[in-house]
Amino acid sequence: MRLQPLFLLLASSAALAACAGGAAMNAARSSNGVLPATKHPEASATVVSLGSYNINPSKVFIAGISSGGFMAVQMHFAFSGTFKGAAIYAGGPDECAQDSETTALEDCGGDGTYGSELTPSENFINANQDTAGMDPVSNISGQEVYLWSGTGDTVVPQKTMNDLQTEYQHYGATVTYDNSFDAEHGWESLDGTVSCDTLSSPYMILCDQGSTPYDSQKKWLTLFFGTLNARNSGTLNGSLMQFSQSPYGGGSNSLDTTGYIFVPQSCASGTQCGLVVALDGCEQYQGVIGDEFVTLAGLDEYADTNDFIVLYPYQTESSSNPEGCWDWWGYTNSSYALKSGVQMTDVDDMVKHVMGGTSSTPTPAPTPTPSPTAAPSSTPSPTPTTSPTPSPTATPPYSQEQTNTVVEFYAEGDITLQEYLELGQAYGYDSEITLYDCNGTWTDSSTCGPMTY
């Protein structure tokens, strides 16, 4: 059966949904489809190889809209040791579709109908967490999660996002939920070109809070990075590059051959930076809207002044995926929501490559220059004086020691929730302590004894 995915109704609805606000915005657009106010640098015409940068592993996050929202949830739960938070626009619970096209359409979104898949989703997480397919779900506890759902969304019902809120809270995430705007289905942004209550391509909407344009990116980027510098409202100083996805599976399994990456000057110069991975939705791939998801997402303007890179992997259409969606229902294989999922692996490989600059190669010790061999002499050599044999240095019982805050140890999965609570009470959650790795178990005892607290 031909798949009718998440944006099943968008093509026909777009023609009917052009209200006055959306028409005015579209009329203001230049001939190349970009608003005159756009200050993005043009991406290089040459497709480059994806680079590696100095990424702070505690500042890596993922975001997505629609099918990209479902995909971002899958990535977050499967790779919760990598991603330290998520921003989801109109997505739903992990593996919401349960490997079923019908469930995807009727319960999660696509037909605009709803049936709760919360319990099966949590059963899936519980069965797969802390396995080869999924990182420990305890990583989610304490992470910041931002959710967006419009009251007028006719594609993914708000009840589906309410289930996602419940799921994240169940696993201990700190959830911020924007769910009061009379918004249609779309990615909300200061740079959006579609009225808030309109369903229309490119599905980049702009909403108002009172008489002031809303800025949802500022809200969740602040949750992730803390107080932000003002976004660059002029010409961006960083570089927007189109990179080849071929080394990561591009050209197969509905993965496009190219993606985009925005790199601020500071990050290109070696400054340690954060990373945000942003996933577009169905009918937002390059063959339909070009680079408008990148240029209208409202992310690069903040990245330019706040030292974080934005990675935009791209999917495309195929015979099994005619609307160009990310795989959130199983059109590639049944493990689509696990680490072994084809697209999951591809995106993770891109992220690992971008983060490759964080691993430092130890400088090899210099090879000592051999002393020249003395020429034989008829004079007998003096009897050498015997030096005392030095005592061997004791080998510590632990393999490594690390100093970090209690919060960071827990975020990296080194300690359990119980240990996190006990250590936090004993030392202070934001205080730096030293822990020792004793055969994979971390303790505050340098003799590899149990936690002393």
Instruction: Tell me the C-alpha distance between 64 and 327, whole Å.
Output: 13
Question: pLDDT, tens digit, for every residue of 301-335?
Answer: 999 999 999 999 999 999 999 999 999 999 999 99
Edge-to-edge strand order for the sheet containing 432-438?
400-405, 432-438, 441-443
Lowest mean per-residue pLDDT among 27-41, 75-89, 377-391: 377-391
pLDDT of 360 strictly over 70: no
Question: pLDDT, tens digit, for every residue of 60-98?
Answer: 999 999 999 999 999 999 999 999 999 999 999 999 999
**449: confidence class by pLDDT, cuts 50, 70, 90:** confident
Q: What is the pLDDT of residue 432?
A: 78
Which amino acid does the sequence have at 161?
A: M
Q: What is the pLDDT of residue 403?
A: 85
Question: The tokens 């990116």 sit on which residue?
Answer: 217
Q: What is the pLDDT of residue 355?
A: 97
> What's the whole-number mean pLDDT along residues 365-378?
34
Nearest Cα neighbor of 261 from 71, 90, 55, 67 is: 55
Instruction: Find the helix packing angle between 342-354 and 67-78, rounded to 10°.
Output: 70
For 261, counting Cβ atoms within 10 Å of its Cβ (0-12 exposed, 13-18 middle, 19+ buried), the class is buried
Which amino acid does the sequence have at 364?
A: P
With a CB cutoff of 8 Å and minimum separation 6, the contacts of 259 are 242, 243, 245, 250, 311, 312, 313, 314, 350
Query: From the CB of residue 260, how many other CB atoms can be counted at a distance below 10 Å?
Result: 21
> What's the whole-number mean pLDDT along residues 360-379?
33
Lowest mean per-residue pLDDT among 29-38, 249-258, 338-347: 29-38
Q: Left, alpha or beta for 231 (phi > 0: left; psi -120 to 50: alpha)?
A: beta
CA 71 from centre of chain? 10
Q: What is the pLDDT of residue 444?
A: 81
Q: Left, alpha or beta for 167 (phi > 0: left; psi -120 to 50: alpha)?
A: alpha
Q: Is 217 or 426 the better-scoring residue by pLDDT?
A: 217
Q: What is the pLDDT of residue 437?
A: 82
Q: What is the pLDDT of residue 364?
A: 36
Q: Is 380 or 100 the better-scoring residue by pLDDT?
A: 100
Active-site residue numbers?
66, 153, 185
pLDDT of 367 strictly over 80: no
Q: Is 52 or 8 the better-scoring residue by pLDDT?
A: 52
Q: What is the pLDDT of residue 165?
A: 98
Q: What is the pLDDT of residue 278?
A: 99
Nearest Cα neighbor of 158 from 89, 223, 225 is: 89
3-state SS string for the chain: CCCCCCCCCHHHHHHHCCCHHHHHHHHCCCCCCCCCCCCCCCCCCCCECCCCCCEEEEEEEEEEECHHHHHHHHHHHHCCCCCCEEEEECCCCCCCCCCCHHHHHHHHCCCCCCCCCHHHHHHHHHHHCCECCECCHHHHCCCEEEEECCCCCCCCCHHHHHHHHHHHHHCCCEEEEECCCCCCCCEECCCCCEECCCCCCCCEEECEECCEECCHHHHHHHHHHCCCCCCCCCCCCCEEEEEECHHHCCCCCCECCEEEEEECHHHHCCCCEEEEEEECCCCCCHHHHCCHHHHHCCCHHHHHHHCEEEEECCECCECCECCCCCCCCCCCCCCCCCCCCHHHHHHHHHHHHHHHHHCCCCCCCCCCCCCCCCCCCCCCCCCCCCCCCCCCCCCCCCCEEEEEEHHHHHHCCCCCHHHHHHHHHHHCCCCEEEEEEECCEEECCCCCCCCCC
pLDDT of 220 strictly over 70: yes
Query: From the CB of residue 359, how many other CB atoms can be counted at a distance below 10 Å?
Result: 8
Q: What is the pLDDT of residue 230?
A: 97
With a CB cutoff of 8 Å and minimum separation 6, the contacts of 121 are 93, 94, 95, 96, 163, 167
Instruction: Tell me the C-alpha distance between 313 and 301, whole Å.
Output: 18
Question: pLDDT, tens digit, for every residue of 331-356?
Answer: 999 999 999 999 999 999 999 999 99
**38: confidence class by pLDDT, cuts 50, 70, 90:** very low
Question: pLDDT, tens digit, for every residue of 142-181?
Answer: 999 999 999 999 999 999 999 999 999 999 999 999 999 9
**401: confidence class by pLDDT, cuts 50, 70, 90:** confident
Instruction: Tell me the C-alpha distance between 284 and 165, whole Å.
Output: 25
Lowest mean per-residue pLDDT among 15-19, 410-414, 424-428: 15-19
